[in-house]
Amino acid sequence: MSSSWISRSLATHVLVALFGMGSWVSINSLWVELPVVVKSLPEGWNLPAYLSVLIALGNVGSVSVTLTHHFAPGWLKERWLIHAIQLLAVGATLFLALFWHRTVAIAGVEHSLAYLVLAFLLALVCCTSNVSFLPFMYQFPPLFVRTFFIGQGLSALLPCVLALGQGVGQLQCLNGTHGNASQPHYLEENFSATTFFWLLLGLLGISASAFLALLFWHREGDPSPGKSSSQESVASEESFPLQTDGAPTSDSAVENPGPEASSTKLPATGFWTRRNIYLLVLLGVSSALTNGVLPSVQSYSCLPYGGMAYHLSVVLSNIANPVACFVAMFLLCRSSLGSCSWASSPT
């Protein structure tokens, strides 16, 4: 194995991680910046409720892409869709950095219309990336798909690190002028929300540049890094569609059947089998715990120990995602019982 191939493969892993980082970094950044922007926007602490609704409405993008693939197969190209998604994300973040604090009067009540509209556009981008980024990664060997999930973990980790550097949620308890009661005094952040959104714009620019670099390397006459070794890995379980019983059948094996395949034909199995339904239910439960149940109670369980404990718990929990993806590159768990144990571990 030549050193040039190793360096090229390592560079591709870095580019894939940076590309995956741009998937949900926008919405994660809006969440961690809420303690800062609520002090300036008229919605106040009702803003998280608005943001939750806007993120739910953003799923119209992923539904539209899925329906387009179903009713018009081949009409929508992932490459151009990703270009459009990244361009919309960069443009929305640029306007967010410039106009997030602007308010307008609607029916005599002040509303942060610019922030809400731009938050919806970013939610649309993030939700649509779920059904566009991963299909593009199918052009690469399975090892790079795990690197992509590490990048998605970074989309949650990096905003939290920036928020900690910003000093979100730090306060002092000052003695009151009357009696012994103390009053909370919130400290000024190390940098403003506007600067935070400019940094977010930089992260999105890095992700878009990484995608362009992946396209450039993929277009070259030399195949993408690891593609030669992917032919060797075609006999591994990772290279085959999701099946339950019998020997797996890869796409290449279907297109180029061997001499023994002509005489022996394996029975076709449908997707909705017991094992696949079990895996889908397991995925739904783990996603609900990770993205819905635990974040909703995390503030209540951590805030008695202080705001810094809450932010540290958020950062450390987001570190677990990329670390788990990195470990999965070397240690795979194919047991149903083991998968159930890992999925129920957050509880």
pLDDT tens string, the chain, 347 residues long: the values are 566 666 778 888 899 999 999 988 998 888 888 878 888 888 887 887 788 888 888 889 989 998 988 888 888 888 899 999 999 999 999 999 999 988 888 888 888 999 999 999 999 999 899 889 988 888 888 888 888 888 888 888 888 888 878 876 666 667 666 655 666 666 777 888 899 999 999 999 999 999 999 888 776 544 444 444 334 433 343 444 444 444 343 333 434 444 444 445 555 567 788 888 888 888 778 777 776 677 667 666 776 776 667 667 766 776 676 677 667 667 766 666 655 555 555 54
Global model pTM greater than 0.75: no
The C-alpha atoms of residue 28 and residue 168 are separated, in whole angstroms, by 15
Whole-angstrom distance, CA of residue 145 vs CA of residue 152: 11
Please give the Cα distance from 267 to 138 (Å, whole number).
26
What is the C-alpha to C-alpha distance for residues 171 and 188, in angstroms, rounded to an integer? 9
19: nearest Cα among 159, 146, 209, 157: 209
Which of 58, 55, 37 has the alpha carbon at shortest distance from 47?
37
Question: What are the tokens at 18?
Answer: 């940076």
The answer to whether the beta carbons of residues 23 and 154 sit under 8 Å apart is no
Q: What phi, psi does 111 have (nearest 5°)?
A: -135, 145
User: Token digits for 97?
Assistant: 């950095």
Amino acid, res. 192: S
Which residues, other chains included, contact 139 with Cβ-Cβ below 8 Å and sequence gap of 6+? 218, 224
DSSP 290: I
Q: How far is residue 198's CA from residue 93's CA, in Å, rounded to a whole number?
A: 8
**Exposed/middle/buried for residue 13 (C-beta within 10 Å: 0-12, 13-18, 19+):** buried
Decide if 82 contacts 132 (C-beta within 8 A).
Answer: yes
